[in-house]
Amino acid sequence: MKFGGSSVSSAARMREVADLILSFPEETPVVVLSAMGKTTNNLLLAGEKAVSCGAPKASEINELAVIKELHLRTIDELGLDSSIVSGFLDELEQLLKGVAMMKELTLRTRDYLVSFGECMSTRIFAAYLNKLGKKARQYDAFDLGFITTDDFTNADILEATYPAVAKRLHGDWIDDPAIPIVTGFLGKGWKSCAVTTLGRGGSDLTATTIGKALGLREIQVWKDVDGVLTCDPNIYANAVPVPYLTFDEAAELAYFGAQVLHPQSMRPAREGGIPVRVKNSYNRHAPGTVITKTRDMRKSILTSIVLKSNITMLDIVSTRMLGQYGFLAKVFSIFEDLGISVDSVATSEVSISLTLDPSKLWSRELIQQELDHVVEELEKIAVVHLLQHRSIISLIGNVQRSSLILEKAFNVLRRNGVNVQMISQGASKVNISLVVNDSEAKQCVQALHSAFFENGFLSEVEEADLAQNGVPVLVSSNGAINGN
Ligand code: ASP
Ligand code: MG
């Protein structure tokens, strides 16, 4: 059972989560926690401020005060002893002073700095469960066997993690049974032996990794929304929960910007064949979303609409003549050399349109210079247009119905006077990506959502299908036919 930051943001929320766990007395869950509330953001901000504020001012950084206040108040309200976190809070202050003195914050230090959030939330929660008489044991993932690459701020979990985690948790359970309370998001670099993090939202991946390591029956990811939704409720309030998803669909949703799950987190679940249930800790009786390998796609057309804004798009047209081989290879080797990741691609023999992921660019410095450099390199072989302020709208749906989805989608967009600037149907085929202007994107999502989900479209199609062929077939979302 993984609980995100907002599920454990206060003493009241921790009580609620403890109550939730205890309401399944027949289960012995492994619990994974994020940092409390906005603590990760606050730690990152504090680190950034420390770089430039000068050592004497480091203790006065506002975010440090907010973090201290939150953790000490929570401990007090839960009737626990402040010694649980006081060592961490002191060390955190020292660390910020150190950053202020050095005037630099390396990625490695940044990971160490943010690790305080999960280290404290799990200690508080484990102490609280113990106080309630439910035996719990706190674990730091970096001591539990989470071995990762040394890519600080975005580390990958290595295979050795699975047996190591299983051995440790099994062994401890046999010696002295207690509910494990594990820090999400963290690992240990295999060469550096330093604390690493798995990328923002990485606690989901911690949870699915433990699920696979132990071969658990189910992985539950508790959030503050009623599961995976048909679109971002901040863009359009009529979004509704999606009851069932496949791992492929969920991964595609996450990659294309749905905030609800960490993009890598579906992999261990898929490999282990373990269902993932996304639930709302603020509304525990809502059914949520169940994610499995295959599902009944008979009635499924469109599953969800995802928007990723502020995308950069490149339009690249070869200056050579038709029939020249190696053009695509050259273009992509330029991206490879510059270490820039490409998202969606549409291509003909002499031209390529592609989009660049903003988050992957923004985590780096010199963004504009880098872009200029890409364009400069590409201009040696092509005419290049750099188009900024674009959005990708991704339609995640049933591959067997792609023509129907496209027909409907283009109809809606035409009626709204929107011209699509690029279209790409992902290799996984459950995803159709459309590029439009940022300024039109939200309105497009709303119009598409009402057309697909709100005006009886699905039941219309269903009736038409039944009238046409009578017996539907059962297909998985990747297009494999599973019998009838
Ligand atoms: N606390 C980390 C973050 O905010 C990890 C997580 O919440 O999953 O990104
Ligand atoms: Mg978080």
pLDDT at 350: 80
pLDDT at position 479 over 50:
no
pLDDT at 427: 61
pLDDT at position 477 over 60:
no
**Cα 181 to ligand 2 centre (Å):** 16
pLDDT at position 163 over 90:
yes
- In this structure, how many other beta carbons lie within 10 angstroms of the beta carbon of residue 9? 20
Residues 40-62 as b or e (16 or more Cβ within 10 Å = b): bebbbbbbebbeebeeeebeebe
Residue to mutate, 182, 185, 206, 359, ligand 1, most ligand atoms under 8 Å from C-beta = 185
pLDDT at 356: 85
**Cα 137 to ligand 1 centre (Å):** 21
Burial class from Cβ neighbours inside 10 Å (0-12, 13-18, 19+) for residue 96 reads buried
Mean pLDDT of 448-455: 92
pLDDT at position 366 over 60:
no
- What whole-number percentage of the chain has pLDDT above 70? 93
Q: Which ligand 1 atom is the nearest neighbour of the CA of 185?
A: 5
Tens-digit pLDDT profile for residues 317-326: 988 755 667 8
Tens-digit pLDDT profile for residues 179-205: 999 999 999 999 999 999 999 999 999
Mean pLDDT of 296-321: 87
Residue to mutate, 6, 40, 67, 157, ligand 1, most ligand atoms under 8 Å from C-beta = 40
Tell me the pLDDT of the chain averaged across its residues: 90
**Whole-number Å distance between alpha carbons of 121 and 139:** 11
Mean pLDDT of 95-109: 96
Q: Which of 301-305, 318-322, 340-344, 459-463 has the lowest mean pLDDT?
A: 318-322
**Whole-number Å distance between alpha carbons of 126 and 30:** 12
CA distances from 473 to 15, 419, 465 (A): 47, 35, 11
Q: Sign of the C-alpha dihedral, residues 318, 319, 321, 326?
A: negative
Q: Which ligand 1 atom is the nearest neighbour of the CA of 203?
A: 8
The finding on whether 40 has its CB within 6 A of some atom of ligand 1 is yes
Mean pLDDT of 330-338: 87
pLDDT at position 431 over 50:
yes
The finding on whether 4 has its CB within 6 A of some atom of ligand 1 is yes
pLDDT at position 362 over 70:
no
* Strand, coil or helix: 90: helix
* Strand, coil or helix: 345: strand
Q: Which two tokens stand for residue 441?
A: 């994107």
pLDDT at 111: 97
What residue ranges define each of the domains in the chain, with the CATH number in brackets? 2-216 (3.40.1160.10), 303-468 (3.30.2130.10)
**Whole-number Å distance between alpha carbons of 9 and 194:** 27
Residue whose CA is at the smallest distance from ligand 1 atom 5? 201
Nearest of 222, 203, 186, 208 to residue 271 by alpha carbon: 208
Tens-digit pLDDT profile for residues 196-234: 999 999 999 999 999 999 999 999 999 989 999 999 999
- What whole-number percentage of the chain has pLDDT above 90? 68
In eight-state DSSP terms, residue 310 is E
Prediction pTM value: 0.87
**Whole-number Å distance between alpha carbons of 236 and 71:** 34
Q: Highest mean pLDDT range out of 73-87, 360-374, 457-471?
A: 73-87
Q: What is the crossing angle of helices 39-53 and 62-77, to 10°?
A: 150
The finding on whether 202 has its CB within 6 A of some atom of ligand 1 is yes
